[in-house]
Chain A
Amino acid sequence: MASQRTSFLVLQYFPFFLLIHSSCGRDIEREMTVEVKAGTEECFYETIKGGETLDVEYQVIDGGRGELDIDFYLAGSTGEVVVQDLRRSEGNHRTTITEEGDYRICWDNSFSHFSTKTVFFGITIESDDDDDLWDDGLEETITAEEIYEMKIEDIKEAMGRIRGHLTKSRFMQDQLRAYEARDRNVAENNNAKVTSWSLINITVMVVTGLIQVILLRSLFDDKSRLHSLWKKGAPSTFS
């Protein structure tokens, strides 16, 4: 029972893990949206092995008063800065990591005193593992069973390609969503600004008009309290 059942089980379950990891490599993709408050920085650490490629892509989608920029830097485990961006609203960096260690990915908003920035970022770690583990060499004589296997392999390959395309579509959708969120935030900020400034304008106009009338009246009205102000200001005129 043991050997046949275990071989069956391993053959059944093993491919599921393969499906999740496309080529037995460690392709990790993460997307997150964080808020970086004014005067602070947000740092994330990622453990990366030598030979892997780190791809960081970020975009500022909300910036309070409409300033959509932030500082970005990528530092190694010893603290040396590998990549740095100053006051950029979006960025895309791809570096091949030679030293293994914990790398620090930071967004710095300390130059801003009031605006909280919202940053959407995506981190992709690709490892170029050798995916030739399936290469066991086809023999010359191909039996019917092997033809069936090869057809299944073709279908599986096609499905793998479809999955790759769909994953790319999803990633582009997320990017478009980030752009749209940024534009929408800008539009909403504009709307709020228009409303507040219009109200302030109207208030100032009305108050100025009333003050003008009051001051003018007090100029000619001896009984008014402000008349003394005019008298003090230009005594020669009222002699």
Chain B
Amino acid sequence: MEGSRLIMTLPCLVVALAGLWGRAEGLYFHIGETERKCFIEEIPDETMVTGNYKLQLYDPRTGGFMPSSPGLGMHVEIRDPDDKVLLSRVYSSEGRFTFTSHTPGEHVICLYSNSTKWFAGSQLRVHFDIQVGEHAVDYASMAQKEKLTELQLRVRQLLDQVEQITKEQNYQRYREERFRQTSESTNQRVLLWSVGQVGILLAMGFWQMRHLKTFFEAKKLV
């Protein structure tokens, strides 16, 4: 019974493994050699973000893209919500990068190749995938390292998911507070400027009348 189950599950394993590799190669886009492409990720604090990428250079001989271009490098620059650089490194043409956010907010992940050309070079195909929070955790290797059984791993997955939901909810409260502050500030400013404008109009009127009155009296026209 156990043997037959094994044989039944082997094709599944192969498909699953192929699917794992296929993931990073799924979505791709084209950029010029000197072009920059940026992605925005709005994440709460202490959240891990992983990016899988692969660079391919256009091959004019075949009209397609070379399967692997080891000479190219990918410059990854990550800025936190305060516009401070979290990560600015050149990686090889294929790989992954990871960072953990320390402040909640909009992080910007920018990719560009480390080509030294000054103006538009050839086209590059970039396969890219970003995984945030509990999607970024590599459960297979964690299970291996900590020797977890299947049930233990499932529980761990569920715990991570719930933790991420809680973090997002807290972050949502913080964002809503900022939103409310912005709205109240707008409201206050509208009131202030309206009253201010009426005041300035009245003051200008008084000043004009008084100034002209003295002017005409000096000129002996009145």
Contacts and interface: CB of A to CB of B under 8 A. Distances in A.
A17 interface: yes
22 contacts: A16-B140, A19-B139, A20-B16, A24-B16, A26-B19, A28-B23, A30-B130, A32-B39, A32-B130, A33-B40, A33-B42, A34-B39, A43-B29, A159-B154, A170-B161, A173-B165, A177-B42, A180-B179, A191-B189, A198-B189, A201-B193, A205-B204
A80 interface: no
A198 B193 contact: yes
B190 interface: yes
- A-side interface mostly: helix
Contacts of B2: 7
Interface stretch (A68-76, A86-94, A206-214, A228-236): A206-214
Interface of B: 2-6, 8-13, 15-17, 19-20, 22-23, 25-30, 37-42, 129-130, 132, 139-140, 143-144, 149-151, 153-155, 157-158, 161-162, 164-165, 168-169, 172, 175-176, 178-179, 182-183, 185-186, 189-190, 193, 196-197, 200-201, 204, 207-208, 211-212, 215-216, 219, 221
A220 interface: yes
A10 interface: yes
A23 to B, nearest CB: 10
A152 interface: yes
B165 A188 contact: no
A187 interface: yes
Interface string A138-177: 0000000000000010011001101100110110010011
Contacts of B26: 28, 30, 46-47, 125
Given A26-B22, A163-B161, A217-B215, 15 more contacts: A7-B6, A10-B6, A10-B9, A14-B9, A14-B13, A17-B17, A26-B19, A32-B130, A45-B28, A46-B28, A170-B161, A202-B200, A206-B200, A209-B208, A213-B212
Given A7-B6, A156-B150, A194-B193, A166 B158 contact: yes
A17 B30 CA distance: 31
A26 B9 CA distance: 16
B140 A13 contact: yes
Interface of A: 7, 10-21, 24, 26, 28, 30-35, 42-47, 118, 123, 125, 129, 133-134, 136, 152, 155-156, 159-160, 162-163, 166-167, 169-170, 173, 176-177, 180-181, 183-184, 187-188, 190-191, 194-195, 198, 201-202, 205-206, 209, 212-213, 216-217, 220-221
